[in-house]
Amino acid sequence: MKVGVLALQGDVPEHLRALAALRPGRAPVPVGRPEELAEVDALFLPGGESTTIARLLQESGLWRPLARRLEEGMPVLATCAGLILLARQLEPGPSGPNPPTFGALDVRVRRNDYGAQRESFEGPVEVDGLPGPPFPGVFIRAPRILSVGPKATAFARRGAEVVGVRHGRVWGLAFHPELSGDWRLHELFLAEAER
């Protein structure tokens, strides 16, 4: 299985590093053009700035092919800005106009709802099906999942709050496993996508 990382903006190198560590000898593909997307069987959408990534997706000609791959059921793991771009609905928030979204995750989200950069934090996340201790959640200007629709399932929580959902083969996380040095979530996703 060939795995790609959308490489337009954001914490791309961190995802590439995690994937290279988990599957040595199978280099992950940075995806910046439609031809590169066509090569991969699964995709990671990094954290970053969702409005910038949305603009670059349109400028690079990747928006429509990515929308098609999502419809076809490609496995995708999206973190933070990635989750925002996949949400069914974005609520108006403090951070100005929202980007367009793919609607592949049946969730309602508000951007930057935990506060500004200086209010970023780390805290334990309980993930269903993850062996070992709670996951170290890194939250940076994180989106809040306000509600989960009937087509999506919550599978990661911080206290009572949902911070990770899945909808078919698409996963969305409000936090950044690629910045935690803990690759258990990447591994869980890869193991399922490889099945």
Is residue 49 among the annotated active site residues?
no
| Residue owning tokens 């087509």 | 151
Identify whether the C-beta of residue 76 lies closer than 8 Å to the C-beta of residue 44.
yes
CB of 141 vs ligand GLN, minimal distance in Å: 4
Q: Which residue has the tokens 């609607």?
A: 103
Nearest to 108 by CA among 154, 141, 158, 46: 154
- Quote the least distance from Cβ 95 to ligand GLN, whole Å: 6
Active-site option among 15, 178, 186, 187: 178
Query: Is residue 35 flagged as an active site residue?
Result: no
Can you tell me the distance from the alpha carbon of 127 to that of 129, in angstroms, rounded to the nearest whole number? 6
Give the nearer residue to ligand GLN in terms of CB position, either 49 or 106: 49
For binding to ligand GLN (CB under 6 A), which residues are involved? 47-50, 80-81, 84, 95, 111-112, 140-141
Minimum CB separation from ligand GLN for residue 191, in Å?
25
User: What is the helix (H) or strand (E) element at residue 154, kind and residue range?
Assistant: strand 153-158
CB atoms within 10 A of CB 59: 10
Q: Which is nearer to ligand GLN, 139 or 155 (CB)?
A: 139
Which residue in the block uniquely carries the two structure tokens 């995802």? 15
Q: How far is the CB of 132 from ligand GLN (least distance, A)?
A: 25
H-helix or E-strand spanning residue 89: strand 87-90
Q: Which is nearer to ligand GLN, 8 or 84 (CB)?
A: 84
Annotation marks residue 59 as catalytic: no
Q: Return the number of the residue (178 or 187) whose C-beta is nearest ligand GLN.
A: 178
- Tell me the two tokens of residue 134: 């709670």
Per annotation, catalytic residue among 15, 80, 186, 187: 80
Residues with catalytic annotation? Answer: 80, 176, 178
